[in-house]
Chains A and B, each alone.
Chain A
Amino acid sequence: MKDCSYCFPDRVVKMAPKHRLFFLPLFLFFSTLVFAQQTVRGKVTTVDGVLANATVQVKGTTTTVQTDEAGVFSISAKPNDVLVVTSVGFNAQEIPVSNRTSIDVKLSANSQMMTDIVVVGYGTQKRSDVTGSVSSVPKTRLTELPVTNILHAIEGSVAGVNVSQTSSVPGSSATVLVRGQNTITAGTGPYLVVDGVPFSKTGAVTNDINPNDIASIEVLKDASATAIYGVNGANGVILITTKRGLTGKPVIRYNAYTGFDNLSNWLTPLSPEAYVQKYADYKAQVPSANQGVLPNNFEVTNYNAGHTVDWLKEVTRQGIMQDHNLSVSGGSKDVRYYLSGDYLQQKGAVKGYQYRRISIRSNLDINITDFLTVGTNLSFANNNYDGGRANFYLAAAMSPYGTEYNATGNYEIYPMSPELLYMNPLLGLNSDRTDRASNLTGNGYAEVKFGGVLKGLKYRLNGGYTYVPTRFGSYAGRTAGNTQGGVASLSTSETTNWTIENILSYTRDFGVHHVDFTGLFSAQQRDYFTFGAGSIGFINDELSFNRLEAGSSLTGNTSYRDKYDLLSQMGRINYSYQSKYLLTVTARRDGSSVMGANTSKYGVFPSVALGWNMMNENFIRNISAVNALKLRGSYGKSGNEAISVYQTITQEGTVRYPFGGISTVGVLASNLGNANLHWETSKTLNIGLDFGILKNRINGSIDVYDTKTEGLLLRRNLPLITGYSFVLDNLGKTTNHGIELTLNTENITGRNFRWQTSIVFAANKNKIVDLYGDQKSDVGNRWFIGQPIGVIYDYKLVGVWQAGEDPSKWDPGAKPGDLKFADINGDGKITSDDKVIQGQTTPKWSGGLTNTFHYKNFHLNVFIQTFQGALKNNVTLTYADEAGRMNIPVATGYWTAANKSQTRPSLAYTNTRGYGYPSDNSFTRIKDVTLSYVFSQGLLDKLKLSSLTIYASGRNLHTFTKWIGWDPENNYSFRGSGDWTNNYPLTREIVFGMNVALR
């Protein structure tokens, strides 16, 4: 740490003259403009501590600096100048210099301030000038919230953005839906852009972004905001901006946390006694069942010996996570840098699961001349999901009388032998597994500012290259239960993507008229390649998957390659009159390779937006209670090309058949192409109001929108008579309309105690307007005119048939213990005509409630999210005990002649009707609670630190739900289907962290 001695105050003093010397040429350059300047230094703080990235501007000039990570700024100003200090989420302050050389400023928070600078597509804008619907993720969600994936930071905090954590496996991401679902078949996720360069469709995954490096996240929602992303805009756009260096002395920052996670909700399996009773009940219901106290030999032996195993305990453990992030940022006037290194390690609460990420980022900006700036954003991330994993599903299914270890002390392969369907859930721990993905991204830019008559004109060239290699290997040997002498498999993939963007922009004020123009010409290409191979039959388990040819037979060689291209032009004009009347007109033309060969492959996506800053009208300005008021309206068209490559082309797949012992390759038609396929288009009308009243103590925004999507890219199921099961087509229309509300209130603003509340609420109504142009529903595909896209269409469960009831005129053949379904059409039998729409699969409304309490240096943040009005098929109930073979949760239960259950069938029941047990998966979750302590300046001075915050945070603390299962939000699969080997419970995390900045 000796090298760091310059961090201490005495060295700062020494450095100061050098600093000035360095800037000398610049000062000379500006000498014609500035005169009698002096350097004003100061520190910007908030109630939470120092404030980095705040903008300090000399009023009426272009002289602007930003505060560094320690909140410190240094600016040249004349003694009679006024400094304007602004920052996203805080009220601006104007402070006269008044001959001072040291000025400290304290800003008060306001998350909807109209003077914020927000990132919009291909540029930035003042919040007050934005005409579209653009929401920023609150800064508090980006700091002091220990999340491993950036999407988790967005969850619940932005109105109209639904982030669903469908898996809790360490290192898993989330699915995002902006303003409901427009499309049926095409991709539904928003388009991600990092530092202005496309991130989606480059092969990158959100795990490649270190949340510690994020400076801001903006979500573009309406057509005016998203139309400039053309065929990628229809599902919304998320703009992520990483931190950059600022002029000033280096700031070294160290953020770290460590956390502990456990299962947040236990779905307790039947106790050993109840399990034995279940089998007794099974025998009573299924006559030919194996006699004996339990079905399998091992179970009987263990039962006789009184030996039980708590399998869930065996596969779980104390999860631990830790993250260390070290960053250095700073710069001179001409070179600014941000360097960051991060190490994240997560040991899962289920044995064997782990996630590690190492990431490095280097963001650099260099002023080469006064008119040319170049810079780079380089990042590297390595995601590591290695390790053999325990099987949580099997642990929940396993008999408590199963045998865990065999005589030699190894895991018994079939704990319920001779039952071979259920292997030991711990066997995976003995398998070797590697699963890694890296992302090397290099983005560079060059920006030229023109002068003279071309003043205000700027040209920017962005070049991006992303290289994503992945490697997967697995080996299951003898101790992992393999009976074929070990099975090894390997696969690798490589995605390369380049993007080149030419951006021309022009900004100029002509009196009361402000004009800016942005033009874009860009191209993108992605190339993907993968290769896989396998081998079985090894002499021993020594070599694992590291030498496939050591196996007796090589299996499953595969390879695949594809390519994607995008070519775009875009233009945007912003005009404002007196900052009162705002106009934005945009148009984008996109050509995408994935569209059908019979189409031009190009589409044009225009939009227009109007804004009225009513605050700048005198009749409003005079109302003292109103501090901000802006009305916005936009209308435009955006596209969705989100189908994967080659979907428009009829292809034949290769298959094999052996003749006389010789494997012979044949071909079979695999899919029906459609060369006429083009993107689907969404037209969105958005009207919004931004407001602030009572000194901005109540502020927020309301947006209402109406989206009409046509030419849906529809994966339309076909009669199998055609020889194909589906075709992609541009068919049908959907609408989405909804309302979004963001409301921030300062409930108590005492000197020592403050209480703020933030509410986000969104309701979306989704409807299929037409499918095939004939107003007919498509029962086969479960698409109904006038209904949401995702609906549950199933029999209506009205109870369970009880002994003595006569089903002959209702459901002939039904036995006591069978599910009783409503005979909707009253024809005396249960047929597919008795299925009804029971509800939608997306939430009717969702919301987030954040309460923040400040008491002196203590801050408490409580975030609750809710998700209401959706149904989901429940696999836990559907598959029950798999015909007497497995254990079940206590909460599931089953019918017996004695308990006369009206919700669960008997153990003998066979679900031939494919009933999916749709259940209400609404939930309200105490998502996170964070208590932090910000050290005061006096203490920091003693510690010689520039800032120090310590915090404790709890995540997924409690969930209120009627759902029977491990979690209503996570998706679970049944044995042999989907991702069943990675069923993983939701975890509750308790995290302790600190953020420290050296002085």
Chain B
Amino acid sequence: MKKKLIIFIGICVSLPLFFSCKKNFLKEDVYSSLAPETLGDSLGIDASIIGLYNHLSTFFSKSDAQGWPSVWHAGTDVAFVPPSQKQGIEVPYYDYTQLNSTDGAASFTWGWAYRMISNANIIIKNADAVAGVTAATKASFGAEARFFRAYAYNTLATLFGKVPLVTEPTTTPKTNYTRNSLDEVNNLIIQDLTFAVANLSDVGGFGSKTNADGKPAARANKWQAAQLLAEVYLRANKPDLAEQQTASIINSGKFALTNARYGIRAGQPGDPFSDMFIYGNERRYQGNKEAIWVLEEENINTVPGGYTGAPQQRRNWGAAYYQVTDVDKNDPTKTVTMNIADSLGGRGIARMRLTDWVVYGLYENNDMRNSQYNIRRKYYYNNTQGKNYGLQVPYTGPDTLFKIAPNTTKWYDFIANNTDGTFGFAMTKDFILMRLGETYLLQAEAQFKQGKLAEAAASINALRTRAGASQVTAAQINLDFILDERARELLAEENRRMTLMRTGTLVTRTQAYNKQTINPVVGLTNKNLLLPIPQSEIDLNKDAVLEQNPGY
């Protein structure tokens, strides 16, 4: 027995030796993540590019700080924040005394842009080395990544001015960045976009769900690169080059201003301008001939990953009419509230209110962009339990600050049985990031800067004709008029703050038009034409001085 036992024990002893001597026992096998080196083929590069679209959308769908959309509009000439509706992140953007180097919005934007740049750099490097594809495919990979890199750098240059240039993937920690000159930054952007214009796909035909390369229509196209390039040339004060780009878009014949009713609600009350902002009408293949670049969103309940964050635009821009109370028709001691309705655009909470300048001074009465379908100014009691059911809610008192404040319908959205429904946290709606309307405005700006006032007036009149507004003359054209027209055309659509920072007009225009006494703009000075470099970046960049913008 003793012998057998010893043999048995011997086996037991050798067992662990066998396990542990197995080759690579300590090697880590990653089962559930991909490694960069496995993504170097064309499938991997294409998936990496999809990642850029996902990352892009996180800028528009940020919801951890719900006042995010207000950062870009409130405290400019177009909007202010009703004090009870503030969230926090947007506060330093109207109380500029609080805009400091630990600002949350500036820090997020900075990090978001550099993450885009970092991912684009990986793709650009891999695209050069990818095997087994044609030179044209390589170029189109590179062009798509370069477009996003340029988009991120343009955001940084507009908001922060000089920034460090990073053009290679990060593989080891680095903490000695310094700011490159604005010329260097602009040159890289122009170089990237020039490459993108040359190598990105053309759009497909109207109604086609694919672009000229057979890829989904929402993939980047050469015209969006051209439009961004036009804007960059304007910022870099090269208006002639900007005009070349806008002209190429307008003359391409690929796009047309929306002059007629179309789409899923063409038979219902509305106008051509409002048709463009109905979910289901916003994309080129859905009939929007004006659309150049659309960031698509889907109902997250039916399409996994339909949106990234929980977009807050509807809640920020829409009025909080659901708080309007009516007396119960059966019991005068009780009150009832208005119902959240599809026709009223779902549940808004009015984190922003349009400035009186926009509400009362911006539009001619017959301007289509000011129609009841585009700016809602009247509300009617809609609770059948209410005593005043069907009557107009009187436009008086503090309710006009946020409950029934006039508001743009561009972000109206309501999908039942979704978080988009009655709770109304997220919004399912496409983001029209570029359309032909803006091309005319950029062109007008380029022409004005070259002194071509008549041409500028003609560019603007293209939009005013569509809107049914009066024509303007060359004598009326100046930068302020162009910026007014941008507000009329692109209200709540363009990033107003970036437009005013790009044109250096943030201080003058805000002071001229954002004049209400409730939650007034305070502390706005010329230093605010740039945002503060995030303090954490300055602190973490310990081996070199990352210079702060003046005044912060």
**What is the interface of chain A, defined by CB distance below 8 A to chain B?**
286-291, 295, 297, 300-301, 304-305, 368-369, 371-372, 417-418, 420, 446, 448, 459, 461, 463, 483-485, 500-502, 521-523, 525, 536-537, 552-553, 555, 559-563, 565, 567, 591-595, 597, 601, 645-646, 648-670, 672, 716-725, 727, 729, 772, 776, 778-781, 812-814, 831-832, 883-884, 908, 910-914
Given contacts A663-B306, A668-B55, A722-B170, contact A813 B523 (CB under 8 A): yes
Give chain A nearest CB distance to B201 CB in angstroms: 13
> Hey, which chain A residues are within 8 Å of B51, CB to CB?
652, 655, 657, 666-668
**What is the interface of chain B, defined by CB distance below 8 A to chain A?**
1-2, 5, 9, 12-13, 15-17, 19-20, 25-36, 39, 44, 47-55, 57, 82-86, 88, 91-92, 95, 97-98, 100-103, 110-111, 114-115, 117-119, 121-122, 164, 166, 169-171, 173-175, 177, 209, 216-219, 283, 285, 296-298, 301-306, 308, 322-323, 325, 333-337, 397-398, 401-402, 417-419, 421-424, 518-519, 522-523, 534-537, 539-542, 546
A772–B304 alpha-carbon span in the complex (Å): 43
> Hey, which chain A residues are within 8 Å of B29, CB to CB?
563
Q: Are B26 and A592 in contact (CB under 8 A)?
A: yes
> Hey, which chain B residues are within 8 Å of A780, CB to CB?
536-537, 539-540, 542
Given contacts A288-B398, A723-B170, contact A656 B304 (CB under 8 A): yes
Which of B26, B31, B102, B540 lies in contact with A561, CB distance below 8 A? B31
Give chain B nearest CB distance to A644 CB in angstroms: 11
Give chain A nearest CB distance to B351 CB in angstroms: 12
> Hey, which chain B residues are within 8 Å of A772, CB to CB?
542
Given contacts A484-B418, A521-B16, A553-B302, contact A651 B35 (CB under 8 A): yes
> Hey, which chain A residues are within 8 Å of B422, CB to CB?
483
> Hey, which chain B residues are within 8 Å of A717, CB to CB?
536, 540
Given contacts A500-B16, A646-B33, A669-B118, contact A290 B323 (CB under 8 A): yes
> Hey, which chain B residues are within 8 Å of A716, CB to CB?
173
A80–B367 alpha-carbon span in the complex (Å): 119
Q: Are A523 and B305 in contact (CB under 8 A)?
A: no
Q: Are B32 and A913 in contact (CB under 8 A)?
A: no
Q: Are B114 and A723 in contact (CB under 8 A)?
A: yes
Which of B31, B102, B305 lies in contact with A658, CB distance below 8 A? B305
> Hey, which chain A residues are within 8 Å of B97, CB to CB?
812-814
Which of A372, A555, A660, A667 lies in contact with B218, CB distance below 8 A? A660
Q: Are A523 and B25 in contact (CB under 8 A)?
A: yes
Which of A523, A666, A913 lies in contact with B20, CB distance below 8 A? A523
A720–B114 alpha-carbon span in the complex (Å): 6
> Hey, which chain A residues are within 8 Å of B19, CB to CB?
500, 523, 525
Who on chain A is nearest to B102 by CB? A832
Give chain A nearest CB distance to B527 CB in angstroms: 13
Q: Are B39 and A652 in contact (CB under 8 A)?
A: yes
Given contacts A657-B305, A912-B98, contact A668 B54 (CB under 8 A): yes
Q: Are A719 and B177 in contact (CB under 8 A)?
A: yes
Q: Are A727 and B522 in contact (CB under 8 A)?
A: no
Q: Are B86 and A910 in contact (CB under 8 A)?
A: yes
15 additional contacts (CB under 8 A) given A660-B296, A721-B114, A781-B540: A297-B325, A304-B333, A448-B9, A484-B301, A521-B20, A593-B25, A646-B33, A656-B304, A657-B54, A665-B47, A668-B48, A668-B51, A910-B98, A912-B92, A913-B100
Given contacts A591-B26, A593-B26, contact A666 B53 (CB under 8 A): yes
A609–B410 alpha-carbon span in the complex (Å): 76
> Hey, which chain B residues are within 8 Å of A911, CB to CB?
88
Q: Are A658 and B50 in contact (CB under 8 A)?
A: no
Q: Are A672 and B5 in contact (CB under 8 A)?
A: no
> Hey, which chain A residues are within 8 Å of B100, CB to CB?
831-832, 912-913
Q: Are A660 and B209 in contact (CB under 8 A)?
A: yes
Give chain A nearest CB distance to B107 CB in angstroms: 8
Nearest 10 A/B pairs, CB to CB: A723-B118, A813-B97, A656-B305, A666-B50, A659-B216, A780-B539, A666-B51, A720-B111, A500-B16, A780-B540
Given contacts A666-B49, A832-B535, contact A912 B91 (CB under 8 A): yes
Who on chain B is nearest to A417 by CB? B337
Sample (13) of A-B pairs whose CB atoms are under 8 Å apart: A417-B337, A418-B337, A484-B417, A484-B421, A521-B17, A525-B19, A651-B30, A657-B53, A657-B57, A666-B49, A669-B122, A720-B534, A723-B170
Given contacts A484-B417, A660-B296, A722-B170, contact A668 B34 (CB under 8 A): no
A813–B302 alpha-carbon span in the complex (Å): 48
A595–B27 alpha-carbon span in the complex (Å): 9
Q: Are B114 and A722 in contact (CB under 8 A)?
A: yes
A577–B306 alpha-carbon span in the complex (Å): 75
> Hey, which chain B residues are within 8 Å of A884, CB to CB?
84
> Hey, which chain A residues are within 8 Å of B536, CB to CB?
717, 780
Given contacts A304-B333, A884-B84, contact A721 B419 (CB under 8 A): no
A301–B337 alpha-carbon span in the complex (Å): 12
Q: Are A446 and B537 in contact (CB under 8 A)?
A: no
> Hey, which chain A residues are within 8 Å of B52, CB to CB?
666
Q: Are A645 and B28 in contact (CB under 8 A)?
A: yes
Who on chain B is nearest to A648 by CB? B28
Choose among B52, B169, B219, B305 the residue with the greatest number of A CB atoms under 10 Å from its CB: B305
Q: Are B115 and A720 in contact (CB under 8 A)?
A: yes
> Hey, which chain B residues are within 8 Å of A483, CB to CB?
417, 421-423
Q: Are A567 and B419 in contact (CB under 8 A)?
A: no
Which of A300, A461, A670, A814 lies in contact with B33, CB distance below 8 A? A670
Q: Are A562 and B31 in contact (CB under 8 A)?
A: yes
> Hey, which chain B residues are within 8 Å of A597, CB to CB?
27-28
Q: Are A779 and B539 in contact (CB under 8 A)?
A: yes
Q: Are B32 and A561 in contact (CB under 8 A)?
A: yes
Q: Are B9 and A300 in contact (CB under 8 A)?
A: no
A59–B402 alpha-carbon span in the complex (Å): 91
Q: Are A725 and B111 in contact (CB under 8 A)?
A: yes
Give chain B nearest CB distance to A4 CB in angstroms: 37
A824–B442 alpha-carbon span in the complex (Å): 48
Q: Are B302 and A719 in contact (CB under 8 A)?
A: no
Who on chain B is nearest to A911 by CB? B88
Choose among A660, A720, A721 the residue with the greatest number of B CB atoms under 10 Å from its CB: A721
Choose among B26, B302, B534 the residue with the greatest number of A CB atoms under 10 Å from its CB: B26
Give chain B nearest CB distance to A693 CB in angstroms: 49
Which of A297, A305, A567 lies in contact with B25, CB distance below 8 A? A567
> Hey, which chain A residues are within 8 Å of B39, CB to CB?
652, 667
> Hey, which chain B residues are within 8 Å of A721, CB to CB?
114, 164, 166, 174, 177, 537, 541
A595–B28 alpha-carbon span in the complex (Å): 9
